[in-house]
Chain A
Amino acid sequence: MKVGLEALADLIPANVRAVLQTQSLRVGRPVLGRAFGHHAAARAGPGLDFRDHRGYAPGDDLRRLDWKAIARRDRLVLRQTDSEDDLTLALLVDGSGGMGYGEGEAQKFAVARALTAALAWIAVSQGDPVAFAVGGTPLPPALTLKPRRHREALDSLGQQLRNHRPDKTIAWAEILTATRLMLPPRSVVIVLSDFLDPVGSGRAEDDLALLGELTHLKKRRHDVVLVQILHRDELEFPWKEQRAFRFVDLLRRRPALEGSALGLREAYLERLHAHLTWWEESSMRHGILLERITSDVALPEALIHLMQRLTGHRRP
């Protein structure tokens, strides 16, 4: 294990850690990093992959002259290669109360925490800077949104993931605005949330506002990835008895609802699927990648699937 990664070890299940050894963070398009890295950049620079030739100009490094090409063209040309830059990865984790649903490893926040740690582990291990925010109330410190690649950043991330308890709502607008300001262009922004009730208001306007903020990120040429983590109970609403149920809002925004689960189920599922469909269609329309994960699935496969989608090798 590389230096600093041990800070996240306890947050990543063992089977996921085994997978991490074989995975690398790749994106299906050129990056535009600030430092040398392992990702093909959208500009010429030091690298291994041939890009093109250009004429020599005084001051150019003579070591880059392509003698075979000079022989063919009878003039001095330089061999250019694609630059390899680093890739800034921003991990925005929803730490609101809604993510606290589920028990043990099936808790949505636990899944988000494991994925965040794993992604950060991969990024740091390949030298990419990581910015992160574990959302909730109050707002996470802005310092964490500054991309960093050294050990202290991982320590801070690990500490926040470890100490955070899902509660209340999350101020997506502030977090996404800060993210937009702090990240270099062409970063990868991965948002881990359930996207069920972003700010706890239940209003469609707030869904649109969140989508607008994400679209702004996309316009800044960031890759925006939405990892929607849902619990199976939320997808299937398994309570079918006639008896009364009392649903308490994890977001602590609404009064508790009481009624027959059987009577509630049909309307719930109908509304939920409409909401999920809206997110799917909206994401596709704005070029945002949406990956839906059920909290009881095997995390290694979920992680591999996510990595493949990042590279563009797999469809949803």
Chain B
Amino acid sequence: MNLLAPLALLAIGGVALPVVAHLLGRQPPREIAFGALRFLPTASAVVSQRRALRDLPLLLVRAAILVAIALVFARPVARDDGALQVVAEVHDCLLLVDGSGSMGLRHGRSTMFEHAIERAGEVLDALPPGSRVGLITSDPRGPRLEPTAEPERIAQALRTWQRDGAPRLGAWSLADALPHAIALLPNPDARPRIVYAIGDRYAGGLGALPERVDDVAILAVPAHPSAPPEHVALMAATWEAAPDLDPSALRIRATVRRFVAAPAEEDTREVSVALTVDGEPITRASVVLPPNEDRTVEFTHVVQAAGVVPASVRLEGLDGDPWPGDNERPLWLSAAHGFEVLVVNGDPSELRAHDEVYFLTTAVSATEDAVLDGIRVRSMAPDQLEHVLRKDGRSALEHVDIMVLANVRAPAADISPTILDAVRDGMGLWITGGDRVAAQDYNAALDEVLPLRLRDALEVGTAPGRERALMEGLAPPDLAHPVFSGFADAGGLDGTRVRKVLLLEPDANRPHGVALSLTNGAPVLVTRDVGDGRVALLTTTIDRDWSDLPLRPGFVPLVAGTLRWLGGGAASRVQPRLWVGEPQVLGNDKTFVVDTPDGREVPARPGSDGVARFEDTMQPGHYRVHNGDAQQAYFVVEVNPTESDTSAPAEVRTGALPEGTGVMATPRWRIWIWLALGLLGLETVLRRRAVT
């Protein structure tokens, strides 16, 4: 035990004060020699003597109060391995407090956030005199204070922040907030610079922080030292059309996970998952959850109503769950998906029959597929696409469900990131081959989403010495592939002859599926899931240039199946999904009105860039967008599932201190404060009893 301010112990000399006050307060009695003492009541004398005896404990209590206060100001610290460690010498520091929604997890009697505020108070108390301390939080709307020599300002800001509703969903992770913290910590006096990061011990919290950034040491201060309590979270809820069951059938999948810090063998728990559609409970299922593993519950529901209906999946029977914020996820369900297909025609022709996408658009219009009912096809040239994307950016693809790059050379390097983002967000991308395709450019632009990297085109059936290329037939399709879901057989693709295909680089590490291939094994239709989106690569052309596929009766079902599969990711894009706090881009040059889950109607006006964004997405639930037109848009706001992940407590590093910054210490004076307060209460009682 050491003292940060040993001079404060001089105040213990103040113990003499209550003694003096006691003696002075006792007031020496005025002495009177009197002859009529027999008429004075003697009881008073007895009381006087007793009071003197009773005042002794009062005196001792007052002296103890002064000693406790002096010890508080002397700031005793323990040089031990306690969880809370504070640099002992004068330094500049910043408190980085985790204000994310997961800090609402109840741990013991308090939430993790309340523990964090308490720990922040302990750090403030422990700072050596003369140190400057600032504050930043992972909540973008939280307080932000530059370093000051007045720790009380920090404590006040924390109290205000807590009173204003922190923690809340939609905050940054500590790792995201760290650069802001570093920027807020100047170094004019060449003092040691420390960031005290206070948060939970999970991989997304303190575990994601480095030990040091340049000369700034990062000291992790766990809000609570022990493992978190067990809790169950609904990690995701998705849906997709189930046309194989019914044109209006939907498959709704819920992923549930049970987080246990220290799992025991054969430790399982049964949880009930309920589906509610349009406010009506539809069905309920139970799932047995092992520790720290995902379990999926699948519901099938036939949507009766036209249009879009709100639904939700909710965990039930979780009374006492430490964090109920992740027990429900909203959905917008719709049986009719009016896909928006953007066809980028890389080889347009004035002769309709020679146009690259003639057969594709004809097939789409001819299909009777229920899912593709109401499909809308737009076509544009590659340069038009580049112009639109450069002008409007990501918002230009906001309502595009499937993009078909038909015999397109390759997306330009500056627009390819936009396409990649759209794919990851759920857009389907169908790349078809052709003479204009530049394989290397594709590999450079869309490598991240390509099922397999492209190589040059090859005339199939060619071989050394053979003067004339032969046609290659299609192998029977892989009916297990979702593209062919609902197919009973080859479906009219028999006899298809392929003359030329794009070769692909084999890559076992790249996740992909082959739906269709040539009899020689060369893949023809390769697919891949990317984020929420899907990508299909047709290595031959979509017109008759490289094969007679468009002439085959199976072409229309193939197109329908491929588009339906590609749109599967986009199906749920009827309800774009945002994490809490993320803005939603609504459109250009219009003012929209957003109906929020709590019943408000919030206008969203175009900004300076002409794009209307809705940013008030702090509340999970269903949002509906309208602007006076008949067309409405929908999106849901969900809790980011990373907030729920408490399964992997990270090893909290104590931080790499700069050389010569001295030892670290754990403050030990808070107990003296409580002791002084207790003694004050005792003193009040004793004083009242003495007066009585």
Contact = CB atoms under 8 A, between A and B. Distances in A.
B33 A248 contact: yes
A57 interface: no
Contact of A267 (B30, B36, B40, B48): B40
Interface stretch (A77-85, A217-225, A239-247): A239-247
Contacts of A97: 35
Contacts of A52: none
B480 interface: no
A155 to B, nearest CB: 30
Contacts of B40: 247, 257, 259, 264, 267-268
Interface in B28-57: 28-42, 44-45, 47-49
B35 A100 contact: yes
A258 interface: yes
A243 B35 contact: no
Nearest to A275: B39
B44 A250 contact: no
Contacts of B44: 257-260, 263-264
Contact of A259 (B27, B31, B38, B45): B45
A245 B38 contact: no
A101 B44 CA distance: 22
B53 to A, nearest CB: 14
A263 B27 CA distance: 16
B39 A272 contact: yes
Given A246-B30, A257-B40, A268-B40, A99 B35 contact: yes
A247 B34 CA distance: 6
Q: Which of A259, A264, A275 has the most CB of B within 10 A?
A: A259
A271 interface: yes
A66 interface: no
B55 to A, nearest CB: 13
Contact of B34 (A101, A259, A260, A275): A101
B32 A246 contact: yes
Interface stretch (A11-19, A30-38, A194-202, A298-306): A194-202
A49 interface: no
B35 A244 contact: no
B35 A98 contact: yes
B29 A243 contact: yes
B30 A251 contact: no
Interface residues on A, range: 35 or more
Contacts of A258: 29, 44-45, 48-49
A244 B30 contact: yes
B37 A197 contact: yes
Given A244-B29, A245-B29, A194 B45 contact: no
A234 interface: yes
Interface in A203-256: 234, 239, 243-251, 254-256
Nearest to A255: B45
A249 B37 contact: yes
A271 B39 contact: yes
Interface in B1-49: 27-42, 44-45, 47-49
Interface in A125-168: none
A234 B38 CA distance: 12
A243 B25 CA distance: 10
Contact of A197 (B31, B32, B38, B49): B38
A196 B48 contact: no
B30 A250 contact: no
Contact of A244 (B27, B33, B36, B37): B27
Nearest to B48: A258
A267 B37 CA distance: 12
A275 B38 CA distance: 10
A273 to B, nearest CB: 9
Contact of A234 (B27, B35, B45): B35
A272 B38 CA distance: 9
Given A247-B31, A255-B45, 9 more contacts: A101-B35, A245-B32, A247-B32, A257-B37, A258-B44, A259-B47, A268-B40, A268-B41, A271-B39
17 contacts: A100-B35, A101-B33, A101-B35, A196-B36, A197-B36, A245-B29, A247-B32, A247-B34, A248-B34, A254-B37, A255-B45, A260-B44, A263-B44, A264-B41, A268-B41, A271-B39, A275-B39
